Amino acid sequence: MNKVLVLGAGQLARMMDLAGTPLNLDVKAFDVRSNKVVHPLANEHTYGDLQTGIDNCDVITAEFEHIAHDVLAVCEASGKLLPSSDAIKIGGDRRLEKALLESCQVANAKHKIIDSRADFDAAIADLQLPIIFKSALEGYDGKGQWRLKSMDQAAAIWADMQDFVEQANTSVPQGIIAEQMVPFEREVSIVGARSRNGEIAVYPITENHHTNGVLSVSLAVASTNALQEQALEVFTKLTEKLDYVGVLAIEFFQVGEQLLVNEIAPRVHNSGHWTQQGSDCCQFENHLRATLGLPLGNTELIRPTAMINILGEDSVPEQVLSIPGVAMHWYNKSKRAGRKMGHINVCANSEQQLAEKLQLLASILEPNAFEDLQDFADRFQARLG
């Protein structure tokens, strides 16, 4: 039995365990809050400290990128960490991420690194309004971001960013990236896996919709070959540059027929949850296969699928389960406003049928809890004609 240690004990480690059980894999998780190795489905069951976990596993991987560097160093020294600590750090620091994109000549938004007020002023002079400022570390789900739309906001934004940086409690110095805001048509992502021997398998492009900066709906339907090939080319460049092993997600802005990289995530990703019902081999299983040196599973879209995040709610109407093609995935978390509590996958035999199911779900689910679902369903329906 192969044994896997996941750095992080959240829902992604949980879903890796669920995907690994049929393969007879033993998955444990290192809880960075308690510094204990725990069972991914029942954190109250503990199995010693980090070193014990390292000694008793075949491979170490991660469910998130904001891991203390001393923890990464210990894991890297064991020779068991996949992907590498460098790859994980790049996903957690936008400065390193931008450097990687530039080194691979991958298209992304025009940007500047901000270390001082002089850098801030120079960025405003060089970039066109509107400009988005993002924290280099630990910014996710809309946090650590500021939008400069007019010059009368500049002083207040600088003061807020300066305070944010000074208050940072990070293992390396916090920083800010200034980016030209992109007038994109839609946000899409690609999730794929690269194995130890360099084999690559990517899932179809997914269209993503955000509510208040947090992913709310991902839609996996047939895409144009040109866009898919463009995303695959970027995925291949980045993973080969990093000698990457595991699942990697890349978020893009689509501008016409061009894809601009927004950010990368060196792990299984929220926009790939649809793969649990929409593909033969989900992203969680493929991540385990890749890191253990097993053949990668089929990543083709087998039916149109959408994923709906459940944010801040610990229940949904039971009527949801009466809809054919619906699967529930709860994370066993305590209720908190805005928290990712679970997700709903809904599948159909055609895009039109999927649109109808999304309309039905929007009519059943509480509109205040799923505030943009009806709008997304309406736009998807209108697109199909």
Rounded distance between C-alpha atoms, residue 19 and residue 17, angstroms: 5
Q: What is the pLDDT of residue 144?
A: 86
Q: Choose which CATH entry (1.10.260.40, 3.10.20.740, 3.40.50.2300, 3.30.470.20) describes domain 186-384.
A: 3.30.470.20
Q: Which whole-number Å values give the CA distances from 176 to 72, 86, 223, in the listed order?
A: 23, 20, 34
| 41 conformational bin, left if phi > 0, alpha if psi -120 to 50, beta if neither | alpha
- Rounded mean pLDDT of 29-46? 97
Structure tokens at 335: 């209720």
Query: What does the pLDDT look like over 167-193, one tens digit per residue?
Result: 888 878 899 999 999 999 999 999 999
Note if the bond before 324 is cis, omega within 30 degrees.
Answer: no
Residue range 110-180, CATH number: 3.30.1490.20
pLDDT band for position 285 (cuts 50, 70, 90): very high
Q: Which whole-number Å values give the CA distances from 362 to 306, 324, 341, 355, in the listed order?
A: 13, 15, 18, 11
> pLDDT at residue 138 above 80?
no
CATH topology of domain 3-81: Rossmann fold (3.40.50)
Rounded distance between C-alpha atoms, residue 216 and residue 208, angstroms: 8
Nearest CA-CA partner of 63 in 14, 29, 12: 12
Using a 10 angstrom Cβ sphere, with 0-12 exposed, 13-18 middle and 19 or more buried, the burial of residue 310 is buried
DSSP element (H, E) containing 96:
helix 94-103
Rounded distance between C-alpha atoms, residue 344 and residue 219, angstroms: 12
Q: 8 and 64 in contact (C-beta within 8 Å)?
A: yes
Rounded distance between C-alpha atoms, residue 215 and residue 218, angstroms: 8
Query: What does the pLDDT look like over 322-377, one tens digit per residue?
Result: 999 999 999 999 999 999 999 999 999 999 999 999 999 999 999 999 999 999 99
What are the domain boundaries of the chain?
3-81, 110-180, 186-384
Q: Which positions ≥6 away from 180 have C-beta within 8 Å?
A: 109, 110, 111, 127, 128, 131
Q: Which whole-number Å values give the CA distances from 383 to 209, 278, 378, in the listed order?
A: 15, 21, 9
Nearest CA-CA partner of 58 in 10, 14, 18, 23: 23
Is the pTM here over 0.85, yes or no? yes
Q: What is the DSSP letter of 279?
A: B
**Cα torsion angle, 256, 261, 266, 269, sign:** negative
Percent of the chain with pLDDT over 90: 93
The number of beta carbons lying within 10 Å of the beta carbon of residue 63 is: 23
Which regions of the chain does DSSP assign to beta strands (E)?
3-7, 26-31, 36-39, 42-46, 59-62, 111-114, 131-135, 145-148, 176-180, 186-194, 200-202, 206-211, 214-220, 246-255, 258-265, 305-311, 326-330, 340-347
